[in-house]
Structure 1
Amino acid sequence: MPRKRPHTITDWDPEDVAAWDAGGAAIARRNLIWSVVAEHVGFSVWSLWSVMVLFMPSDVYGISLGDKFLIGAVATLTGALLRFPYTMATTRFGGRNWTVFSAFVLLIPVTATIVLLAHPGQPLWMYLVCAALTGLGGGNFASSMTNINAFYPQRLKGWALGLNAGGGNLGVPAVQLLGLLVIAWAGNRQPYWVCAFYLVALVIAGIGAALYMDNLEGPGVDLGAMRAALVNRHTWTVSLLYIGTFGSFIGFSFAFGQMLALSFRDQGQSAAQASLHAAQIAFLGPLLGSISRVYGGKLADRFGGSRVTFAVFLGMIAGAAVLLAGGGSIALCAVGFVLLFVLSGMGNGSVYKIIPSVFDAAARTLPLDEAGRAAYSRSMSGAVIGIAGALGGLGGVGINLVLRQSYASTGAATTAFAVFAAFYAVAALVTWRMYLRAPQGALRRQVDSKVSTAMRVSGSKNSMTS
């Protein structure tokens, strides 16, 4: 068993089967549970404005459809960019400590949202600033995933990372479902009940993390690991794939409800009716996508992350084709989006399985001892998880901006769906080329060209623990 001080664990080695069976698994599971809780609430806050816009009739708030897409894009952008510093935060401050802070700091944007929506007619920039602050919740993903990656052995990373991320992703449909209940109960003019619920949830998540989570001492993600990851081509290929999967998930999560509401308005419904009917459907996509992420990770553990990812992108091309063929049909629109949500969720899990697999294989080719190889694999995997998570979030920005431009130019989303289908085709080709056609040869050439960098990273980690 690893030595432990109050809320700090030393000598953590999840690959030690005896220590894992003697209590390590229980420790990891406890940290995973509260990591999921905190990340779940963080995701809800991040996607809060995807619900708030349903409570903002244009004639009351003076916010157009294009403005609403822009609000979603800003929230997505800040959440993506904050994943870079959040990736290194658990190493600098400790996984437990940062989880506590990252939960409590979200009380600020949630409170600001209540104040802002209570006073309609404010200038657009105020809504954009408030939405940007909710992006702090998007940063939670990177710190949470980097932290849980360190707790679990290689053989269980696909399942653990999939469960952690899937539980966090469930925050998106959770806030949308809560918005639906509030609209059905109190109408589309009282969004404060949604925000009040999350004020309580954030306090519970922060206190739970403080009581039950641990900090890990030892190798982690620092600037050296981030620099090494930035010059590794696998960082960029995996990030491209994650833009296609997670970018689609979070981008569509912000946009789906707005598009449905617009379709219902086109059928002659009032703003209140359109919001209610859109909310009744919109949460299903993120819900199924969040659940499928866990199974995407499990399938990747069994069949390999690259195989599952390749199949996912082929399916997403089909999903985009359904949207292109659907025209103005709400039924086909819902079917196409649900298919994209489910597949993007699976792809989120499978892409994140590729990361530790690639760097574990790379570590085994390096002229280092076992401790050095473990330090290299852990630090590089954590760094790439953060970078890919940030760039994947930027894909959500692109989704909202492309949709905004498509509506502005043609009054419909058809052009946007064609762009998405083309991107999924490129991602499928990259997956096949990099990780299916000749993965071992490609990986070996990559490792050979980066051995000196890897040794510097591992050396810095060893010096930290000596």
Structure 2
Amino acid sequence: MSTLDTSGRVIKGWDTSVEEGWDKSISWRTLAISTFSLTLGFCVWFLVSAIAPKLNEIGFQLSASQLYWLAAIPGLSGGCIRLIYMFMPPLIGTRKMVGFTSLLFLIPMAGWGFAVTNPDTPYWWLLVLAAMTGIGGGCFSGYMPSTGYFFPKRMSGTALGLQAGIGNFGVSLIQLMAPWLMGFTLLGIGFVAPQRTQGDTDIWVHNVAFFFIPWAILASILAFVFLKDVPVTANFKQQLDIFGNKNTWILTIIYIMTFGAFSGFSAQYALLVNKTFGAASEFAHTYNPADLPKGATFAFLAPLIGSSVRAAWGPLCDKFGGAIWTFICGVGMTISTIVAGYFLKPSSPDDFWWYLGAMLVMFFFGGLGNAGTFKQMPMILPPRQAGGVIGWTAAIASFGPFFVGIALSSMDAQLFYYCCAGFFAFATALTWIYYARPNAPFPG
């Protein structure tokens, strides 16, 4: 007879290894609310990448290096915060973690909303605000392990794929909505004066930050009212046992290839396009800048594809296993990154379209690999360790925006792409040797 008791804030007798030990309605409700909050979190995390390309148009005077750093700092802070969040689920539970985190989103959103209204805002304060947005990416390492506790292994690919994929959609959402939101005043915040571009056009850059504030408040209310905790507990020391498992380190390398590339190239994409093909490129001297590609116009496409594939591929990972899809991802990412790198020495602005196509292919395979690796972890590791490894790998990979930003500000972009391709090939080889080949030691 089942001992499951769901009447309290902490569920008693929760055990997803037996059918009568878990409640599907609670599991899916938890997935829905935490995914809603996570999507907003990714909007917060990539807020700077959506705003940065417009800063110099509204009176700021920032160099290309300073802009790259601004877009890179959220990756650094997000990764550091993930190292904290990976320990959160067994310590404070799902309900408090999602509820309080949603409220924390308000700080960077309000901060950026007011900062962009004054072009005299000091650069050091912009860097601080950029670091604050890291909370949006950092919570991923708590939300994903927590969700893993609510579903059996046979459904882990679907559940984690949906949460990560829809959550990652926040990257595309903020980049897609930003140009639209900047175009008009919003009801209730019309008292904030618009900024004026160099072309004497009114633009409401602050809208991008202010728009998401009420949604974050709603996410917090939903979490505190409807979420429950499962009886998975462990102190800090107990959770460190994941570092004695070699799969932790192998999967970290692989996830840097998939999510590290997704987050890193997404954050820097608009700035790189502007510098290589757009108004900040050498082509601006011989072409009408208005006719050149604008990074902000296309920035949403890449993460949209990666996120969609990640969400959609979960059921296929449950059916065929995650390892084979991760391997296919690695092959595809290696080839497409080499092709994209080739077009970073353009002979004309028309080369942008080849570059864009190669990047979209790369993001497709990145989404495939993200779904595959998150299916592998619950299959290879016991539940608590799987949660810890999910949090750890996500933390390290989230430094992607920081390292990609630093690399692009300090070295040739084409060389960097070729270096990335070499790393992807190495990670793909590890996937084949340990997980994907026939008779692999750790199939999953």
Q: Is the pair's TM-score, using the shorter chain for normalization, greater than 0.5?
A: yes
Q: Which moved more, 1:186-195 or 1:383-392?
A: 186-195
SS at match of 2:120: coil
Partner residue, 1:201: 215
> In structure 2, how many angstroms separate the alpha carbons of the residues matched to 1:383 and 1:51?
31
Q: 1:429 to 1:188 in 2, by over 3 A?
A: farther
The Cα of 1:227 is off from its aligned counterpart by 1.4
Q: Name the aligned partner's letter for residue 302 of structure 1.
A: K
Q: Name the aligned partner's letter for residue 396 of structure 2.
A: L
> In structure 2, how many angstroms separate the alpha carbons of the residues matched to 1:134 and 1:297?
28
Partner residue, 1:424: 424
> In structure 1, how many angstroms separate the alpha carbons of the residues matched to 2:390 and 2:48?
26
Matches within 5 A, 1:46-445: 46-57=45-56, 60-185=59-184, 189-217=203-231, 219-262=232-275, 263-265=277-279, 266=281, 267-268=283-284, 277-326=294-343, 327-328=345-346, 329-359=351-381, 377-406=382-411, 410=412, 413-437=413-437, 441=441
> In structure 2, how many angstroms separate the alpha carbons of the residues matched to 1:158 and 1:253?
24
* C-alpha RMSD of matched pairs (Å): 2.1
Q: Name the aligned partner's letter for residue 87 of structure 1.
A: M
> In structure 2, how many angstroms separate the alpha carbons of the residues matched to 1:421 and 1:185?
42
Q: Is the 8 A contact 1:305 1:354 kept in 2?
A: yes
Q: 1:304 to 1:120 in 2, by over 3 A?
A: same
> In structure 2, how many angstroms separate the alpha carbons of the residues matched to 1:312 and 1:182?
34
Q: 1:309 to 1:133 in 2, by over 3 A?
A: same
Gaps of 5+ in 2: 186-200
> In structure 2, how many angstroms separate the alpha carbons of the residues matched to 1:286 and 1:188?
29
Higher helix share: 1
Q: Is the 8 A contact 2:165 2:310 kept in 1?
A: yes
Q: Is the 8 A contact 1:166 1:290 kept in 2?
A: yes
Q: Is the 8 A contact 1:56 1:189 kept in 2?
A: no
Q: Name the aligned partner's letter for residue 225 of structure 2.
A: L
Q: Which moved more, 1:109-118 or 1:163-172?
A: 109-118
Q: Is the 8 A contact 1:55 1:188 kept in 2?
A: no
The Cα of 1:142 is off from its aligned counterpart by 1.0
> In structure 1, how many angstroms separate the alpha carbons of the residues matched to 2:421 and 2:400?
14
The Cα of 1:395 is off from its aligned counterpart by 3.0
Q: Is the 8 A contact 1:87 1:221 kept in 2?
A: no
Q: 1:433 to 1:319 in 2, by over 3 A?
A: same
Q: Name the aligned partner's letter for residue 103 of structure 1.
A: S
> In structure 2, how many angstroms separate the alpha carbons of the residues matched to 1:296 and 1:244?
18
Gaps of 5+ in 1: 360-376, 444-466
SS at match of 1:257: helix
Q: Is the 8 A contact 2:94 2:228 kept in 1?
A: yes
> In structure 2, how many angstroms separate the alpha carbons of the residues matched to 1:427 and 1:45?
30
Q: 1:279 to 1:150 in 2, by over 3 A?
A: same
> In structure 2, how many angstroms separate the alpha carbons of the residues matched to 1:399 and 1:97?
33
Q: Is the 8 A contact 1:314 1:425 kept in 2?
A: yes
The Cα of 1:58 is off from its aligned counterpart by 6.6
The Cα of 1:61 is off from its aligned counterpart by 1.2
1:9 is aligned to 2:23 = no
Alpha-carbon displacement from aligned partner over 1:239-280 (angstroms, at most 9, x marks no partner): 1000010001111111111122332213437888879x4322
Q: Name the aligned partner's letter for residue 227 of structure 2.
A: M
Q: Is the 8 A contact 1:225 1:379 kept in 2?
A: no
Q: Name the aligned partner's letter for residue 341 of structure 1.
A: F
TM-score (norm 1): 0.84
Q: Is the 8 A contact 2:435 2:441 kept in 1?
A: no
Alpha-carbon displacement from aligned partner over 1:119-159 (angstroms, at most 9, x marks no partner): 21333221111110100111111111011000000000011
> In structure 2, how many angstroms separate the alpha carbons of the residues matched to 1:203 and 1:93?
20
The Cα of 1:224 is off from its aligned counterpart by 3.2
Paired residues, what number? 416
Q: Which moved more, 1:221-230 or 1:390-399?
A: 221-230
> In structure 1, how many angstroms separate the alpha carbons of the residues matched to 2:8 and 2:206?
39
The Cα of 1:13 is off from its aligned counterpart by 1.3
> In structure 1, how many angstroms separate the alpha carbons of the residues matched to 2:414 and 2:407?
11
Alpha-carbon displacement from aligned partner over 1:299-331 (angstroms, at most 9, x marks no partner): 322222111111101000111122123232110
> In structure 2, how many angstroms separate the alpha carbons of the residues matched to 1:241 and 1:124?
35
Alpha-carbon displacement from aligned partner over 1:18-55 (angstroms, at most 9, x marks no partner): 455xxx11110011000110000011101100111022
Q: Name the aligned partner's letter for residue 132 of structure 1.
A: A
Q: Which moved more, 1:335-344 or 1:317-326?
A: 317-326
SS at match of 2:211: helix
Q: Is the 8 A contact 2:434 2:440 kept in 1?
A: no
1:42 is aligned to 2:41 = yes
Q: Which moved more, 1:434-443 or 1:343-352?
A: 434-443
The Cα of 1:225 is off from its aligned counterpart by 3.9
